[in-house]
Amino acid sequence: MLNTLIELAKEATPEKRRRIMSHVTDLFVIGADRYKTEELALFNDVLEKLLAAVSHEDRVKLSERLAPVPTISKELAMSLASDVIAVAKPMLETSSVLTTNDLVRLAKVKSQAHLLAISKRSQLEAALTDVLLERGERPVQQSVASNEGAELSKWGMKLLVKQSEKDSELRETMLNRDDISMGELDKLTDQLPEETRKRLKLLYKTNQELVEKLFREADKIVASSKLQRRNTRIDAKASVREIRSGQRALNKVFSSFALSHNILDLAYVLAELSNLEQKYVTNAILRPDIDSIAIICRALGVGDIEFSGLCQARCAHLKLPKSAAENWESHYAVTDEADARRALTFIRLRLNALKEDAA
């Protein structure tokens, strides 16, 4: 079978070669999870040999089909990943067959377009991001910085903070990363325009005491709140997955929980998306002051109308008049989203520091 297919491909017209490749690929992809080792080896061998006999367009289609398949051979994966960018892109972005060492080898010699594709993978180890940052031009560096799954070494972090001095977009991205230190946050803040810098430092100072209260009082307030998880058709964990995958909008999920006064599940969703512990978010929702929950919600992009629903739920739980909700809504309306994102980074860092000190 192997030799027959290869010989047919060599002698056939481009259209017949395309059909042979398509047929073999279909058989491989359909049964990739149940073929025996020797059968997988056979299919991989056929595809490796057919690769040189098909057109650029066929290689692009092959790469797109095989990128999600975990049982293709290393040789086939590397051949496709080393090809021109249109062919290589799907493999570089998603193939689980390619190891960090494989990707480092490619990143050291391939084009900027290849580096950009690698930078979009869901997980990147520091050994790889170092190479991407060292060889990569601005688009690659920006892509690495904005990738939540990209691990940065001390050198990589220092480089990006330094590059942020002359790149406002990169600076904004770095200000939103979860893994920066307080020292790096201070350096990035000092790079901001004077008016923004002063406003943000005042915001940090204002939130310093608030963060300490969130930390100290979280367990006590949550324990005394007598909150009960309400029966709803929406599963909080499923909602988070759908928001992250783009299947559902945060504002729709937020409204559903807020209107049903389901504070616990709402706190879970906000905690997962903001990378904070749920008890701190629950505390922020239950506190009489609005500052901390307003920062969290605005940083995540919750709309004014949706936030109004939470204000109504807060009033009901805290037994406050409707006028309180109106005041909270007015406060939220003038909360700047960029400032809120920066303040959320500060809150996250301070809570982590307090937790480490208390350990």
The DSSP code sequence of 131-146 is HHHHH--HHHHHHHHH
Torsion angles phi and psi, residue 82, rounded to 5: -90, -5
Same domain? 346 vs 234: yes
pLDDT at residue number 227: 53
pLDDT at residue number 313: 93
The Cα 307–Cα 159 span in angstroms is: 38
Read off the tokens for 328. 């909270």
Helix, strand, coil percentages for the chain (3-state, nearest 5): 75, 0, 25
Same domain? 110 vs 180: yes
Same domain? 205 vs 353: yes
Residue 227 DSSP SS3: coil
| Beta carbons of 26 and 67 less than 8 angstroms apart | no
Same domain? 305 vs 209: yes
| Beta carbons of 263 and 256 less than 8 angstroms apart | no
Kindly report the pTM of this predicted structure.
0.77
The Cα 202–Cα 198 span in angstroms is: 6
The Cα 171–Cα 36 span in angstroms is: 50
Same domain? 212 vs 85: no
- Residue showing tokens 């025996």: 36
Per-residue pLDDT of the chain (359 residues; tens, 9 = 90+): 555 655 555 555 677 777 777 877 877 788 777 777 887 887 788 888 788 878 899 899 999 999 999 999 999 999 999 999 999 999 999 999 999 999 999 999 999 999 999 999 999 999 999 999 999 999 999 999 999 999 999 999 999 999 999 999 999 999 989 899 989 999 999 998 898 888 888 888 877 777 777 777 765 655 555 555 555 545 899 999 999 999 999 999 999 999 998 988 999 999 999 999 999 999 899 888 899 999 999 999 999 999 999 999 999 988 999 999 999 999 999 999 999 999 999 999 888 888 888 76
Residue 200 DSSP SS3: helix
Same domain? 12 vs 123: yes
Same domain? 236 vs 320: yes
218-254 confidence digits (pLDDT tens): 656 555 555 555 555 458 999 999 999 999 999 999 9
pLDDT at residue number 233: 45
Domain boundary among 175, 190, 205: 190
pLDDT at residue number 30: 81
- Domain housing 297: 194-358
- Residue 241 CB contacts under 8 Å (≥ 6 apart), including other chains: none
Same domain? 315 vs 291: yes
The Cα 98–Cα 76 span in angstroms is: 10
Give DSSP secondary structure letters for 14-81.
Answer: HHHHHHHHHHHHHHHHHHTTT--HHHHHHHHHHHHHHHTTS-HHHHHHHHHHHTT-TTS-HHHHHHHH
The Cα 181–Cα 157 span in angstroms is: 10
Torsion angles phi and psi, residue 150, rounded to 5: -90, 115
The Cα 340–Cα 342 span in angstroms is: 5
Q: Which of 17, 14, 39 is closest to 28 using CA atoms?
A: 39
Read off the tokens for 321. 């008049």
Same domain? 166 vs 210: no
Read off the tokens for 18. 């395309």
The Cα 313–Cα 319 span in angstroms is: 10
pLDDT at residue number 152: 98
Structural domain count of the chain = 2
Same domain? 199 vs 185: no
3-state per-residue secondary structure call for 177-228: CCCCCHHHHHHHHHCCCHHHHHHHHHHHHHHHHHHHHHHHHHHHHHHHCCCC
